[in-house]
Every structure is written in C-alpha cells, then in structure tokens.
Amino acid sequence: MKNDNLMLTKPSGTVYWRRLWLRICRHWQVYVFLFLPVAFILLFHYYPMTGIQLAFKQFDFKKGIWGSPWVGWDQFEKFFKSHMFSRVVKNTLRISVYEIFAGFPIPIVFALLLNSFRHERLKKTVQTITYMPHFISVIVLVGMLFQIMNSRSGLYGTIVHYLTGNYPKDILGSAKAFAHIYVWSGIWQHFGWGSIIYLAALTGVSPELHESAQIDGASRFQRVIHIDIPTLLPTAIIMLILRAGQVMSIGFEKVYLMQNTLNQINSEVISTYVYKIGLTATITDYSYATSIGLFNSVINLVLIIFVNQLAKRVGDTSLW
Amino acid sequence: MSTVTQTKNLLAMAKPSKVKLSTADKVYYSIVYSVIIFLTVLVLYPLIFVVSSSFSSGQAVTNGRVILWPVEFSIESYKRVYEYKVIWTGYRNTIFYTLVGTLWNVIMTACAAFALSRPKLPGRSWLMFLFAFTMLFNGGLIPNFLLIRDLGLYNSPWVLIIPGAISVYNMIITRTFFQNSIPGELNEAAVVDGCSDFRYFFAILLPLSKAVLSVITLYYAVAHWNSYFSAMIYLNTRNYWPLQLFLREILINNQFSAEMLTTMTDEEIQKLQGMSDLLKYAFIVVATVPILMVYPFIQKYFAKGVMIGSIKG
C-alpha cells in the first residue's frame, strides 16, 4: 500500500525504466525498420569520424590509423605556415562570396517576374526549359563549357572573331576568368531550379490581397513591391543566412574539372587541395590531408551553428 | 468584394488579352515578358547549339560555322559514337548502378523515415539527431577512403551502391511527408484493428506516399546517373566505370580510347582529329538525353519535393 502511494506521486527509478522498457517492447517492429539504416549511419558516417585522429598523428602505413604516433598540432602548424594556406582559403572564400552575391538575387527576381506571368501555358514552358540544365551532370556541363568557350573553334571564339576580326586569348586557361566562368555557368545551370522555392512561397499569397489592391487601383508593379516582395522576404532571409553558413565549402566536383595548370593560382580551393595531398600527390600524406579537411569541417560546423542561431532570432526559423 | 470585380478577375485569368491594362501595367508586363523570354532563350540557346553541332559536319563545327541550326547536316558523329564500344560499357554500368542503387536508397530511406516519423517512439529525437548531425560534420575524405579500403570495397562495383545508401536530406523530406500528409489517426485506427507496424507500412503508408516516393526516387536516380567522384577515387577497373568517367576522359581530358584508334586506318585517325569536337557534342547529347527525357514528365513532382522539403518537420 505504501509503495503504491509512492508510485502515484513520484515514480521511482526502477518503475520509470520498466515503463520505458515496455514502450520500447511495444515498438519493437519499428526498431527493426531502423536497424539497417542506423547500422549504415554508424558504419559509414560515424566510424570515419574516429579517423579524424589522423589529423593529430603522422600516418604510418604499417601501423594503421590507431597505431600511428601522435604528433599534436604539427600538421596544422605546417598548414598555417605553408604558402598554400592563404591561397586555398582566399580562393575558397572569394569564389563562394562571389557566388552568393551574384547567384542569390537572380532566382528571387526570376520568381517574382514569373509569378506575374498571365499565360499559364507559356509559364509552364518557361519553367520546363529553365529547370532543365539543373539535371545536366557536372562533367557534361564542364564539357559544354570547354567546347563553347574554346577561343578558336567554340562559340566564344567565333563571336569574338566575328566582332573584332581576331581570335581572343584562351579564356579557359586564364586565372582571372576562372571565378567568373565558374559562377556564371553555375547560375545558368541552377537559377531556374532555385526559383522553385520562391514560386512556392508566392503561391501562398491570398488572392484576395491582390484583388483588394487592384480595386484600390494598385498597378501590377505596385503589387509586386507591396505584396509579393514582403511575402518572399522571410524565405529569402532564411535562404541567405543558410547559404552564408556554407561560405567556406565549395564542392569539389566542378572546380576540379575546370582546373588546369594555367588557372591553378585562382582555382585551387580547400576541397581540391585535400584531394591532391591525400590521394594523387606523388607522395601522398594522409595525415596532412586529414588535418586540412578537419580545419575546414570545423569552420563549417561553427558557421552553420552560428547562422542557425541568427536565423532563429531574425526569422523565427531554424534547421533544428 | 463585388461580383463585378470577381467576374472581371475570372475574365482576366481566362483571357488576359481582352482586359484593358493601365499604361503602368502595360510597361510592367512588357518588361516582365521581355526579361523572362530573354532568360529562357539564354538557357535554351547553349542546349540547342550543342544539339545542332552534333548533327553538323566536322568541318562546319571546327570552322565555327554552326550558329543555331545544323550546318551540312550529318549523322556521322552518331555512327562513330555507336561504334565506340567503351561508351556502351559505361551505359550498361550506369544503368545498373542507377537501378540497383536507387532501389536500395529508396528502401533504406523509407524505412528510416517511417521509424522516425512515429511520434511516440522512445529515443526518437536522439535518433533523429544521430542522422541529422551527419549533414553538419563528417570524417572527411581520407578516413572515408581508408574505411572503404579496409572493408574491401575498393575497386568493387558495390562501392557505388552500398556506402551512399541514405541521403539524410531525402530522408527528412520523406519523414516530413509521412508526418504532415498522412493523418496520424490512420495509424491509431490500424493499431486498434490489430494491424502490425509491418503491415501498416506496406499496405497503408507506402501506397499513400506515391508523391514523395517518386520525388526521392528521382532525386536518387539523377544523383546516381550524374555522379563521378566516388567512381573516380574508388574504381580502377575500366570495365566497372560508369558513363560519366568515360565522358570525363573524352570531354575533359581529351583522350579517346586507344582501342578505338587501333581499329582505324591512318586516314580515319586524321579524320577523327578533325572530328573530335563533333564527337564531343554527340557524346554530350547521348549522355544527357535520357535524363532530360524523363524530367518533364515528373516536373510537377520535383516542384512538390522542394516544397515538402522546405517545410520544417
């Protein structure tokens, strides 16, 4: 009797665990569903995290990851002192910031304009065409770039020749042009796709708002300024903040394909440098590559946590 | 709201050209239409140019005479591509990786999403964190590489299928759909009727989730078709290579396989040099058309997928 009383007011530890155990048992089938995915996540995502210790070791092929000797922060010091440090960090930041400034507003403007389109069928056609390049593989995209931007046989060469009578200098081997080509080809490929999320936000505007504005004599442009843009603003702010969280990460795939010995000064970014140090250099250095990779991942992690906090304050939205 | 304006609006939607526009609107719309049409042409033009080039003669392409439509129409390049055996090896492998890989992806993703969408599952938020954290942080290139090597997956075709089983992003889209679009009462009713979780998943949940399943199927399939990085670092044997790696050799590194050259006479090789641009255009078309053919049919689902994904779950 006394015990029962206690249970009602304050379940003791063992009772709590027993109830939890019962709930777990009731869900056993659900855990069966989770078994493979969780095993997969642990093996392919969490186990490699133990390999991060390599960043603080000097990898020895005979002894493996766990047996290699510790060297403390040596690898990081080596990286910070190397002449490649400022180059890869600067290139990464420069290309990334350029991409944000040039690439961020275009899908928004495109969505605003497309939203005021009055021919449904034409609108669908425009969407089909502008989303299409998003599905082109990065190898094909860069292949197209090489063909079209070729300064002799490509469209670029042909046009400049037609206009000036001379063939232009090779633009694909130019270090100066690298960021421009990289960013604008990316915009060409993805601006249509990027507008989807804004178009979706715009369909959330109640038609009555537009109707009453129309009755009050607002022109379509005024309605864009006073109805459409304020509707998009929260989505846009969140997207911008989240994008800013990735400012230190540039995908490997496209940069690597576009690189050549001539443009390397401006095209070597952190991810491509890690790949070369770790896997393709004549003397590969696993530890050094891991430490550079870790340096980058930690910055990315800190940035994303920071901008997520910011998003919480500004837009009341967050990733988690 | 007066019925007059409503009718007006309906009319406006039905027949835009019949409604009188104010001058300001006329200016606005002409700007909108010209900008949108300009952008659409800008996107379309390179695509048309590539296709037209591939159907032109080698000479016309190298001399830059192709501007919009094919010049000296020929399908010579496609005959060459057809004879290029390596590309068919690539095609065969890519189709295998895409089919098997996508199937494996969708099964794993749906299972995880189903479990994590159950509101009363003990440890749910903890498990969710386990998945989500992998989007923010990872071991990096070298530790992953060493793991693959230790598992014996290096240079095995399964390396393109097994390790990438779940994209957490797609899993979250699926989970959000399960939570928001399938009423929770359905599960409660099923439980009352003595339906097991297994049966609920296969007989009720999956048939109701065709929209999200098609979205993630397509996301995964496109990713398999287009990716090259894993294949590049893990596969040495050319026989296992996906299409994209062969394309890289041809389009980026400018190498045509020796096997192709040895079966040719000198004269043919010379001709090939002149035709290399032409061939590249044809390869681009052959590798891209399958994915672009499928895409317009499922376009509405893609848009839906982005929308589902943007709603926080």
Whether B130 is in a domain gets the answer yes
Report pLDDT digits (tens) over A126-142. 988 998 899 899 999 99
Contact A140 B251 (CB under 8 A): yes
Report pLDDT digits (tens) over B249-299. 888 887 665 555 555 666 665 566 557 888 888 889 998 888 888 777 777
| Residue B66 and residue B194 in one domain | no
Report pLDDT digits (tens) over B148-203. 999 999 999 999 999 988 999 889 889 988 888 888 888 888 888 888 888 888 88
According to the model, what pLDDT value does residue B253 have? Answer: 80
| Cβ proximity of A192 and A110 under 8 Å | yes
For B126-143, what is the mean pLDDT?
Answer: 89
| Residue B213 and residue B121 in one domain | yes
B190 in A contact zone (CB under 8 Å): no
**Mutate which of B141, B279, B288 to disrupt the A interface (most A C-beta within 10 Å)?**
B141
Q: To the nearest whole angstrom, how far is the Cα of A27 from the nearest Cα of chain B?
A: 7
| Residue B68 and residue B96 in one domain | no
| Cβ proximity of A223 and B25 under 8 Å | no
For A77-92, what is the mean pLDDT?
Answer: 90
Contact A147 B248 (CB under 8 A): no
Q: Write down the ipTM of this complex.
A: 0.85
CATH number at residue B264: 1.10.3720.10
Query: Is residue B304 scored above 80 in pLDDT?
Result: no
Query: Is residue B30 scored above 70 in pLDDT?
Result: yes
CATH (one of 1.10.3720.10, 3.40.50.300, 1.10.3130.10, 3.30.70.1140) for A74-315: 1.10.3720.10
Identify which of B9, B49, B141 has the shortest CB distance to residue A274.
B141
For A183-209, what is the mean pLDDT?
Answer: 89
Per the model's pLDDT, the better-predicted residue between B302 and B220 turns out to be: B220
| Residue B65 and residue B204 in one domain | no
Sign of CA dihedral B209, B212, B216, B217: positive
Return the domain boundaries, chain A.
2-54, 74-315
| Residue B58 and residue B174 in one domain | no
Per the model's pLDDT, the better-predicted residue between B16 and A242 turns out to be: A242
Q: How crowded is residue B119: how many other Cβ atoms within 10 Å of its Cβ?
A: 8
Length of chain B (residues): 313
B28 in A contact zone (CB under 8 Å): yes
Contact B141 A278 (CB under 8 A): yes
Whether B255 is in a domain gets the answer yes
| Residue B51 and residue B85 in one domain | no
What is the residue-averaged pLDDT of chain A? 86
| Cβ proximity of A210 and A223 under 8 Å | yes
Element housing A173 (H / E): none
Whether B180 is in a domain gets the answer yes
Q: Which of B51, B74, B97 is the last residue of a domain?
A: B74
Q: Which of B74, B96, B121 is the last residue of a domain?
A: B74
Q: To the nearest whole angstrom, how far is the Cα of A1 from the nearest Cα of chain B?
A: 30
Whether B93 is in a domain gets the answer yes
**Mutate which of B54, B104, B142, B200 to disrupt the A interface (most A C-beta within 10 Å)?**
B142
Identify which of A37, A65, A144 has the shortest CB distance to residue B284.
A144
Residue of chain B whose Cα is closest to the Cα of A119: B16
B289 in A contact zone (CB under 8 Å): no
User: Would you list the DSSP string of A38-97?
Assistant: HHHHIIIIIHHHHGGGGGGB---TTTHHHHSPB-TTHHHHHHHHSHHHHHHHHHHHHHHH
Q: What is the band of A182 on the pLDDT scale with cuts at 50, 70, 90?
A: very high
| Residue B49 and residue B176 in one domain | no
Query: Is residue B93 scored above 90 in pLDDT?
Result: yes
Say how far apart CA B265 and CA A142 lie, in whole Å: 31
A214 in B contact zone (CB under 8 Å): yes
Whether B129 is in a domain gets the answer yes
B296 in A contact zone (CB under 8 Å): yes
Overall number of domains in chain B: 2
User: Would you list the DSSP string of B265-304?
Assistant: -HHHHHHHHHHHHHHHHHHHHHHHHHHHHHGGGGHHHHHH
Contacts of A214 in chain B (CB under 8 A): 5, 9
Across the A:B interface, residue pairs with CB atoms under 8 Å apart total 276
Contacts of A196 in chain B (CB under 8 A): 302-303, 306-307
Report pLDDT digits (tens) over A238-251. 888 878 878 888 88
CB within 8 Å of B75: residues ≥ 6 apart: B55
* Residue from B97, B226, B102, B116 nearest B171 by CA: B116
According to the model, what pLDDT value does residue A1 have? Answer: 44
Distances (CA, A) of A279 to A271, A276, B156: 12, 6, 18
Please give the share of chain B, as a percent, with pLDDT higher than 70: 83
| Residue B182 and residue B48 in one domain | no
According to the model, what pLDDT value does residue B138 have? Answer: 87
Residue entry with tokens 């990334």: A96
* Domain of B92, in residue numbers: 79-310
Whether B21 is in a domain gets the answer no
* Residue from A194, A131, A199 nearest B297 by CA: A131
| Residue B66 and residue B168 in one domain | no
| Residue B112 and residue B68 in one domain | no
